[in-house]
């Protein structure tokens, strides 16, 4: 079976620090796949762009995405605004993931969502929390196994 051009590409262009690539490079022509641009054309439009190894770039972004999850205090109003914004993709009656993905995990392709949790302190006052980064559904379920220290 013949591979398509995207399966053949091993290099592309990106601006350092950006979370997306500009385009992948067709190894047969040396031009970018989507816009058929040369190296010079890319640099004219994106002066700080660099040629990248696509696999190394994807691994680096996936590593950045998988930082430890922290639960940061938020307001009751923000919690309820987010709960009402869209139907949650995951909801246990008080903890939820907002129903629209923030992005996707570069390592496994799973959608990642903003997470919210509700906890009570020793006096039973409700406390509201938002995740420090988007989570996949499996990550969220793992987080629910542990109480938030209040």
Element (H, E) at 135: none
Rounded to two decimals, the pTM is 0.75
2: pLDDT confidence band, cut at 50, 70 and 90? Answer: low
- Banded model confidence at residue 106, pLDDT cuts 50, 70, 90: confident
Kindly report, residue by residue over 18-31, the tens digit of the pLDDT: 888 999 999 999 99
* CA–centroid distance for 54 within its chain: 17
Q: Write down the pLDDT at residue 5.
A: 73
> For 2, what's the count of Cα atoms within 13 Å in the CB-facing half-sphere?
2
* d(C-alpha 135, C-alpha 132), whole Å: 9
């Amino acid at each position: 079976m013949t591979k398509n051009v995207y399966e053949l590409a091993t290099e592309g262009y990106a601006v350092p620090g950006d979370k997306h690539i500009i385009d992948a490079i067709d190894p047969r022509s040396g031009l970018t796949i989507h816009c058929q641009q040369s190296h010079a054309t890319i640099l004219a439009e994106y002066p700080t762009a660099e040629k990248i190894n696509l696999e190394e770039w994807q691994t680096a972004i996936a590593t950045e995405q998988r930082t430890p999850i922290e639960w940061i205090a938020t307001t009751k109003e923000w919690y309820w605004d987010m709960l009402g914004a869209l139907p949650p993709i995951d909801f246990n009656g008080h903890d939820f993931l907002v129903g629209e993905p923030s992005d996707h995990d570069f390592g496994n392709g799973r959608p990642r969502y903003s997470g919210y949790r509700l906890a009570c302190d020793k006096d039973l006052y409700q406390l509201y929390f938002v995740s420090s980064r988007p989570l996949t559904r499996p990550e969220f379920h793992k987080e629910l196994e542990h109480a938030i220290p209040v």
